[in-house]
Amino acid sequence: MDSLKSYLDQGTNFVKEAWKELAKVHFPTPKETMQATLVVVILTLVMALWLGLVDMGATRVVHQLIS
């Protein structure tokens, strides 16, 4: 029975500490979320373009070496 009480106390203590930590979290505003999403989308498109160009160049080099 003591072990059950100990587990319940540990669980209660964990929830209390987690709640305290959650109160410290900064949740972004919708505007901040939109800005961060826009940055991610733009960087993804830029990287996709860059990797596409590098792939095209590498493909041409390999074809020149094979031919």
Question: HSE on the CB side for 63, CA within 13 Å?
Answer: 6
With cut-offs at 50, 70 and 90, classify the pLDDT of residue 5.
confident
Domain count, the chain: 1
Number of H helices, E strands in the chain: 2, 0
Q: Return d(Cα 64, Cα 57) in angstroms, integer.
A: 11
Q: Return d(Cα 25, Cα 35) in angstroms, integer.
A: 19
Q: Judge if pTM exceeds 0.85.
A: no
Q: In this structure, what token pair is assigned to residue 54?
A: 């590098």
Q: Which of 6-10, 19-23, 56-60, 61-65 has the lowest mean pLDDT?
A: 6-10
Host domain of residue 48: 2-66
With a cut of 90, say whether residue 67 has pLDDT above it: no
